[in-house]
Amino acid sequence: MKSEECGKIRDLSEEQRFQLLVTGITDYAIYMLNPEGIVSSWNAGAERFKGYAAHEIIGQHFSLFYTEEDRRSGKPTRALQTAREQGKFEDEGWRVRRDGTRFWASVVVDPIWGPSGELIGFAKITRDITERKAAEEALRESEDRFRLLVQSVTDYAIYMISPTGVVTNWNAGGERIKGYKQEEIVGSNFAVFYTEEDRAKGLPAQTLTTAATEGRFEQESWRVRKDGTRFWAHVVVDAIHDEAGKLLGFAKVTRDITERKQALEALERANSALFQSQKMEAIGQLTGGIAHDFNNLLAIISSSVDVLATRTQSYADKKVLDAVRRAVDRGALMTQQLLSFARQQPLMVENYDLNAVISSFEPVLRRAGNSAIEMKIRPARDAGTVSLDAARFEAALLNLVVNARDAMPDGGKLEVIVESVHLGVGEVGNLAPGAYVCVSVSDTGSGMPPAVVARAFEPFFTTKEIGKGTGLGLSQVYGFIAQSGGDVVIDSEEGKGTTVSMYLPVVEGAPDDRIVAADERVDTVLIVEDEPDVLDAAGQLFRSIGYEVATAANGVDAMAILERRSDIDILFTDVVMPKGMSGIQLARLARELRPDLKVILASGYPLPALRAQYGRIDDFTFVVKPYLLAELAKALRAAS
């Protein structure tokens, strides 16, 4: 500003300078009203955005600037009354320009008092804030649309939490997924959504710390609904900062992906089951082929032994041939076990109620345990009918019970549970959906690591000490159940025990009712065998299924035992023995001494050959050596 112009301004009075200032302002309408509301002054700003020149508006009532609806409601009068009574009136609202268009105005009305305190008028300042209001409305609409969007989302829980973890808002997805209504959860700490074990580990606090320091936290884990049920959640937490970098809180988005997790797990189970099935099928085919070929070789050796036995009368030569035959028998036993795994064993299939089968076999199962083990057998309410070879099922169940017993040398709990179940697609291996009977054997023993569980059904795989097991027990169980149309599942954890579950499909038809209950009393068996290794093995087998055992190496010693001991219930004797007394002769003498004695004959020779040499032997129960546990259990039940 030039110095002469500054001088001119200084020459003006203070009132003139103030008037010049007011009239020169263009962004605000600044004008005076008399006590009745008549416009008495006007500035450039008022003319700019209200459209009236000074000569057009001075002398007019200020209500001219109000909308018709505001004038009808008496708003101009209330504005002046409020300013007079309260010392100021402030408002925002629509005002009208000279051309009839509207603008959004910020209005301040102050009363002007004279020296003696009388009201001489009002000072009115109006500003056009239409653009600001439009921006605010646009922002509000955007926020409302965003809020409506967030509130409408039901597949995601979207909400805010404070820096300390307190929930500050809530959407419909949060209510649907987590079960809390807005009034129930807002104000609570978000840690309530975590499992008890995660809260104990401090995971909620770790979540916020990670999000605050790194800007984001993402995780999949279990979360808890209001009703206590769990769901698998995908969680994203983002930190929210203001322009100055101050942490305002966190935005948390949670999605329930339980179904996706279950689908992935089902796919993994299906792939695993397919791989296991293919692996076991391949092993079974290989095993079956080898067993058949090995059986052919054994048949040649066995036939040759039979031929040589007819050509020699030397006791020494017969002993050698007997040793060869026992080796053949052991090889034949192994091939039978391998064929059982390969599902190539002939089965005597009938319809049964497994409750009845297990109930009748319960005394044998209990004898297989020991006093340090608490055994419980729980039948199903309605087990349904299954089609199987009962003797082989009993042997499979007994095998599992013996394994469970061996896993608890210091005692524990053993349960045999029968359940009716309905399986879905891919729920157990490759079994088709439908009704099944599940028989599970659970123990609280040492358990198995996952690597051992994965191979438990493979032939010859065993974790037992050398000489304590062949590794064919579980493989036979698997082969038999698979051949019966079912599947076997092992659930085990080291130090927490093992559960082996056998699934058998339910079939139509009534169950067979010809099941004879086993004797609950502990029987004593006298085993007669001249080969020490075979005698020892037979003794271990009988003891494993709960029998008391007495032994003799020949018929003479066996008769001596029978004469002095009245507690012998079963005579189990080999047919071919030295010292001039065969097993059949022993059986006949024993029956003369004890007519009620149960007698089981065992021999590697077929029945026709034995009948040709010894005559009628049909009064006694007969098992072919080598005998499987299934055949032995069946013979013990049928012994007469």
Q: What type of residue is 123?
A: A
Contact 572, 525 (CB under 8 A): yes
SS3 71: helix
pLDDT of residue 360: 81
Comparing 170-174, 287-291, 348-352, 597-601, the range with the smallest average pLDDT is: 287-291
The pLDDT of 251-259, averaged and rounded, is 88
Q: What's the fold here for domain 350-505?
A: Heat Shock Protein 90 (3.30.565)
Spatial contact of 457 and 524, defined as CB atoms under 8 Å apart:
no
**pLDDT for the residue 292:** 53
Would you state the pLDDT for residue 19?
53
Listed in sequence order, the residues at least 6 apart from 295 whose beta carbon sits closer than 8 Å to its beta carbon are 332, 335
Helix crossing, 629-638 with 390-406: angle to 10°?
110
**pLDDT over 50 at 467, yes or no:** no
Cα angle, residue 326 at apex, residues 322 and 327 outer, rounded to 5°: 120
The CATH architecture assigned to 153-256 reads 2-Layer Sandwich (3.30)
d(CA 349, CA 612): 31
Which pLDDT value is given to residue 341? 45
pLDDT top residue among 287 and 572: 572
Q: What average pLDDT does the segment 320-334 reach?
A: 64
What integer pLDDT is reported at residue 310 of this predicted model?
63
Report residue 539's pLDDT band, with 50, 70 and 90 as the boundaries: confident
Give pLDDT, residue 392: 78
Share of residues in the chain with pLDDT > 70 (%): 74
Higher-scoring residue by pLDDT: 159, 278: 159
CA–CA gap between residue 550 and residue 525 (Å, rounded): 6
Q: What integer pLDDT is reported at residue 314 of this predicted model?
A: 65
Tokens representing 393?
A: 């099922």
Cα 192 to Cα 203, 341, 597: the distances in Å are: 12, 52, 71
Confidence of residue 438 (pLDDT cuts 50, 70, 90): very high
Cα pseudo-dihedral 528, 534, 536, 541, rounded to 10: -90
What is the distance between the alpha carbons of residues 256 and 259, in angstroms, rounded to a whole number? Answer: 8
Q: How far apart are the C-alpha atoms of 169 and 182, rounded to whole Å?
A: 7
pLDDT at 278 over 80: no
Q: What is the pLDDT of residue 272?
A: 61
The C-alpha atoms of residue 336 and residue 344 are separated, in whole angstroms, by 9
**500 in the Ramachandran plot: left (φ > 0), alpha (ψ -120 to 50) or beta?**
beta
pLDDT at 229 over 90: yes
The per-residue pLDDT for range 104-151, each reduced to its tens digit, is: 999 999 999 988 889 999 989 998 888 888 877 777 776 566 566 556
How high is the pLDDT of residue 610? 72
Q: Which residue has the higher pLDDT, 369 or 588?
A: 588
Contact partners, residue 485, CB within 8 Å, separation at least 6? 387, 504, 505
What is the pLDDT at residue 237?
A: 92
User: Considering the entire predicted model, what is its pTM?
Assistant: 0.43
Q: Which residues face 601 on adjacent strands? A: 573, 622
Backbone phi, then psi, for 337, in 5-degree steps?
A: -65, -40
Model pLDDT for residues 160-200, shown as the tens digit of each residue? 899 999 999 888 888 888 999 989 989 999 999 999 999 99
Which residues have a Cβ under 8 Å from the Cβ of 490 and sit 6 or more positions away?
Answer: 448, 453, 456, 498, 499, 500, 501
Count CB-CB contacts under 10 A for residue 488.
22
What pLDDT does residue 200 have?
93
pLDDT in tens, 484-509: 888 888 898 888 899 999 999 998 87
Q: What local confidence, expressed as pLDDT, does residue 62 receive? A: 93
Per residue in 534-552, is it b (16+ CB within 10 Å) or e — as a string? bbebbbeebebbbbbbbbb
The band of 319, judged by pLDDT with boundaries at 50, 70 and 90, is low
Q: Are 33 and 122 in contact (CB under 8 A)?
A: yes
d(CA 396, CA 473): 8
Residue 22 has pLDDT above 60, yes or no: no
pLDDT interval class at 352 (50, 70, 90) = confident
Q: Is 382 exposed, middle or buried (0-12, 13-18, 19+ CB in 10 A)?
A: exposed
Q: How far is CA 151 from the centre of its chain?
A: 32
pLDDT, tens digit (0-9, with 9 covering 90-100), for 393-415: 887 888 888 888 888 888 899 99
Most confident of the following: 10-24, 215-229, 515-529: 215-229
Please tell me the CATH code under which domain 3-129 is placed. Answer: 3.30.450.20
Please check the confidence at residue 332 and state whether its pLDDT lies above 90.
no
SS (H, E, C) 402-413: HHHHHCCCCCEE
Confidence band (pLDDT; 50, 70, 90) for 26? Answer: low
**Could you tell me the pLDDT band of residue 67, with boundaries at 50, 70 and 90?**
very high
CATH annotation of 524-638: 3.40.50.2300
- In contact, 1 and 92? CB cutoff 8 Å: no
* % of the chain surpassing 90 pLDDT: 26
Pairing assessment for the beta strands 570-574 and 598-603 based on DSSP bridges: parallel
pLDDT of residue 469: 46
Average pLDDT, the chain: 79
590 has a pLDDT exceeding 60: yes
Average pLDDT over residues 578-594: 84
Q: Map tokens 């319960």 to a residue.
A: 362
Residue 333, pLDDT > 60, answer no
Task: Convert 358-370 to b/e letters by CB count within 10 Å (16 or more is b).
Answer: bbbbbbbbbbbbe
User: Quick one: tokens of 177?
Assistant: 């997924």
Give Cα separations from 564 to 305, 554, 593 (angstroms).
38, 16, 11
Quote the pLDDT of residue 466: 43
pLDDT of residue 191: 92
